[in-house]
Amino acid sequence: MLKLLLSLYLAVFTSIVVINQVSEAIWSHWVHSAPDELRHAKAVANTLKSTISSDQLPQESETLKILNMDDVAWLPEQASTLVQGGILTSFDDEGRAWLTFKVPDSTLLLQLGPLAPAASAANKQWIIKLLSYAVLAFLLMLWIRPLWLDLLQLRYITENLTQGQLPKATRHSRFSAISNLTEQIHDLASQVARLIENQKLLVNAVSHDLRTPLARLKFALAMLPEQSREQASDMADDVVEMEAMIDEMLAYARLEFEVEKLEITPIDLCELVNDQISKLNKLTDKKITFKKMSNTVIISGNLHYLSRALQNIVQNADKYGRSTIAINIECDKNNAYIHIEDDGDGIPKSQWESVFIPFSRLDESRSKDNGGYGLGLAIVRKIATWHRGSCHVGFSELGGAKFILTLPLAN
């Protein structure tokens, strides 16, 4: 960052110095030295005033007139300027200039004119300003270009990384202030891509290689003689539990790779919740209430994964609730909010975020003895994030936990 700030400071400082020097040179050679009839006439008037006297007056002509000071009604300021020996500049109705000065030791006045006034330099000033801004923009562009090229490289790296691909080697500009950062991010992205690839291989290995010996073990336990069945019952339960845990782990691991293949369709959220309630009613005797602001709430998402997220939350409420589960859908202009509450023991506020961490377990009431592996709610948050939503936990008015699943409405 220090290198970036120093290079920017030097670029701006150098640009301002160059622009000031160039602007002054242009102004002095193009504007200030440009022909100006009025300025030239003032120089002539000063020379003439210093060389004439009341005894040696020049002849009157079209551009030179001799006046008596008392013949003109001068303003006090004008009269004071003439008396003090200054050159008075006045303009007629046509905008022409007249130069008037007093002959030394006399009441006579000499008047030069009419003269064209000095041309306005406003246009030239604007041209110089625009040229200055153009030079500044060009010099800053020279500084920004290497930085911009490196930022494009960072974009290329992240795009490849999000697709799980190893980014190819990139060329870094040695003039860029963030070239070292670009190189470090490329190395980091390469390492992350390798880790993702290793994770894919691990998931495939677990899916095939670990399931096979478990299946053989289940078959061997099933073939034990009758007298050994009771002893093998606990072993069979452990095998079933291991299979369930493997399924849950694989489901969570696959989420990292399935996001690229999501099929997004319009979904009626009320209908989706009703389907989950119907399935849960077949498995529980708890009372389930469902309130909604509208009969139709349309969102955009993947039906399979949103069903999985809702299923995990309602099963969690069924598992830890005592007798009642309350589901409520609310909406605002942009989002739909699904509130799922139970009347269980609830979750302490200090552990609200912990429940979404994979493999986390809170206490004995929410341990694996109740059938959980600490992945259900982690899957819910992952799916909600996919759909540009969120999932949070809070206190329920029923006394237990309250989960709020937020999903954006369809445009």
Joined together, the tokens standing for residue 194 give 């390798």
- How far apart CA 163 and CA 204 sit, in angstroms, is 18
Output the pTM of the full model.
0.52
* 398: CATH: 3.30.565.10
Asked which of 68, 87, 115 is the last residue of a domain, the reply is 115
For residue 60, is it within any domain?
A: yes
In this structure, is residue 225 part of a structural domain?
A: no
Domain with 75 in it: 2-115
Residue at which a domain ends, from 79, 98, 115: 115
pLDDT class for 276, splitting at 50, 70, 90? very high
Mean pLDDT of the chain: 79
Of 146 and 334, more confident = 334
User: How much of the chain exceeds pLDDT 70, in percent?
Assistant: 76
- Residue 253 within any structural domain of the chain: no
pLDDT of residue 324: 93
Q: Which long-range contacts (CB under 8 A, 24 or more apart) does 60-68 make?
A: 63/112, 63/113, 63/114, 64/110, 64/111, 64/112, 65/110, 65/111, 65/113, 66/108, 66/109, 66/110, 66/111, 67/100, 67/108, 67/109, 67/110, 67/111, 68/107, 68/108, 68/109
The total of structural domains in the chain comes to 2
The whole-number pLDDT of residue 261 equals 67
* Closest C-alpha to 315, from 370, 369, 236, 243: 370
Confidence of residue 171 (pLDDT cuts 50, 70, 90): low
153 occurs within a structural domain: no
Question: Distance between CA atoms of 407 and 335, rounded to whole angstroms?
Answer: 6
Task: Give the separation between CA 292 and CA 328, rounded to whole angstroms.
Answer: 6
Inside any domain, residue 385: yes
Which residues sit opposite 65 in a β-bridge?
Answer: 111
pLDDT tens digits, one per residue of 300-338? 999 988 999 999 999 999 999 999 999 999 999 899 999
Does the pLDDT of residue 190 top 80, yes or no? Answer: no
pLDDT in tens, 16-59: 887 777 777 776 666 554 445 666 777 777 777 777 877 777 78
Asked whether residue 229 is domain-assigned, the answer is: no
Is residue 104 one of the residues assigned to a domain?
A: yes
* pLDDT bracket for residue 365 (50, 70, 90): very low
- Of the candidates 115, 140, 169, which is a domain's last residue? 115
Residue 277 lies in a domain: yes
Q: What is the pLDDT of residues 115-126, one digit of tens each?
A: 765 555 567 777
Decide which of 40 and 388 is more confident: 388
What local confidence, expressed as pLDDT, does residue 177 receive? 60
CA dist 84 → 48, 79, 87, 104, 284 (Å): 16, 9, 9, 10, 112
pLDDT category, 366, cuts 50, 70, 90?
A: very low
What is the maximum alpha-carbon separation in the chain? 152
